Structure 1
């Protein structure tokens, strides 16, 4: 991609996603993703209504007048984006491919993070770790992430989310908030355990990206389907009601399995359709977390 075209794409995504994060998500993000706890800030004279459990007895004894400790939230977070760059992200049957939605979501979360003075880092993964961008602050860092999202070309087409989760758990020593942004087309049986272990150390959130055409097969006769990750082709008779039912049943089972896995591992998640506005889905997730 030429530099001029790349800069135009970066600018377009920046304008859209920075506006969303500033005008819509800023407050919800802050409420949904808490800091590391409360830290001592200062002492002041006791006022009616203050919690007596916060009285600083040493200062009170010194001045013969009650003083209380004031605590503030330790706001700064480290946010990690685990971004699926496998072959299946190239799928899309309407206006947007999965990878376009993943790019915009990643940019929105990145701008939301820096507006709250949080660090942001990225792990690109396929069936291996493709690239690790350590957490940092600042607009130039965000623009670098967006550039990578637009022009990154993975070495592999496969998917291994388990490997990515394990890598992050080992690479990030302090507690962080980690978003796994993927279509979760991965049947690795170890994923649930990896998510459970990671969620004990970090705050894990899953954004499941899917396309409507993955949920049902249209009746349009014989069609040639390609496995984007393995590269093999198969002919399917979509006019067969039995075939369409098998296809739909597989999708229902797949979504049910993901729901069980996320709940067992304690991971918050939301499913986002490429054909729908992801703003509503993210707001639902943020508000649900803020109530916890």
Structure 2
């Protein structure tokens, strides 16, 4: 992708995502991701019915009138986006690759955080940490993250979700939100996932292509190359589920009470994020 193409693509995502955030996501993001406490905002004159415990006695004594303290939720959060850039993300049987869908999802969360003045960071990982950008604020920073999501070329092809999670547990000091975007075709990440849940509001985002989840009625043999191992072999597509059982992943997330997002290269990533926000909001109300 040359520079002009890249700028055009980034601009398209910025416009499309910005519009969605303005219309739908910014307020929903604010309502479902809570801050870590409260901070003093201002004082105002006391009116009947106010909580007397909030009276600011020093200001009241100086002014001769009764004033109370008002507080706001301490809203600033850190949103960390960890995105799997292993070779399997370059697959797509329709108009989009899984990697492109992952970039759109990441942009939706990043621009929602920007609108609410939260910091956003990015980790791109394969079976190593390919890129780490510390959390910062600002539109320029967000656009850099989007650019990296679109054009970054990983050194390695395989996936190690445990490594990514364990690294973030060490380098991110404050509690915050962690959006983990992957096709979750890795194995053995369950322990690291549980540990990360204790520190982060961990949201797994499962991105798949329909061909990875549908099983043909008749055997269908194809010559194919595993994108992560590079090995060539003859595959029977009836065996497709063993290459990443989506139901198994969903059951695991559900068992831990994790609110997850599942989307396909054929669907609308934005619609799935809307569903997630609604589900999370309903859970908070209970």
Shift of 1:36: 1.8
CA displacement, residues 41-98 of structure 1 (integer Å, 9 cap, x when unaligned): 2333332333455445676688787643321011211111001000110111111110
Alignment match, 1:283: 274
Shift of 1:186: 0.8
Is contact 1:82–1:125 with CA below 8 Å preserved after alignment? yes
Is contact 1:33–1:290 with CA below 8 Å preserved after alignment? no
1:145 and 1:41 map into 2 onto residues whose CA distance is 32
Matches within 5 A, 1:128-143: 128-143=128-143
1:220 and 1:28 map into 2 onto residues whose CA distance is 45
2:58 and 2:279 map into 1 onto residues whose CA distance is 41
Using structure 2 for the length normalisation, give the TM-score. Answer: 0.89
Alignment match, 1:230: 229
Shift of 1:290: 2.3
Alignment match, 1:96: 96
- 3-state SS of 2:88 partner: helix
- Change in Cα spacing, 1:281 to 1:120, as seen in structure 2 (3 Å) is same
Matches within 5 A, 1:168-247: 168-188=168-188, 191-218=189-216, 219=218, 221-238=220-237, 244=238, 246-247=239-240
Shift of 1:228: 1.1
Is contact 2:55–2:67 with CA below 8 Å preserved after alignment? yes
Across the two proteins, how many residue pairs are aligned to each other?
A: 282
2:110 and 2:196 map into 1 onto residues whose CA distance is 21
Shift of 1:281: 0.9
Shift of 1:187: 0.7
Extract unaligned runs of 5+ from structure 2.
none
- Change in Cα spacing, 1:49 to 1:257, as seen in structure 2 (3 Å) is farther
Alignment match, 2:9: 9
- Change in Cα spacing, 1:29 to 1:45, as seen in structure 2 (3 Å) is same
Q: Structure 1 runs of 4+ off > 4 angstroms?
A: 55-67
Counterpart pick for 2:258 among 267, 271, 275: 267
Using structure 1 for the length normalisation, give the TM-score. Answer: 0.87
Alignment match, 1:241: none
Extract unaligned runs of 5+ from structure 1.
239-243
- 3-state SS of 1:92 partner: coil
- 3-state SS of 1:159 partner: coil
- 3-state SS of 1:268 partner: coil
Shift of 1:269: 0.8
Is contact 2:80–2:176 with CA below 8 Å preserved after alignment? yes
Shift of 1:40: 2.4
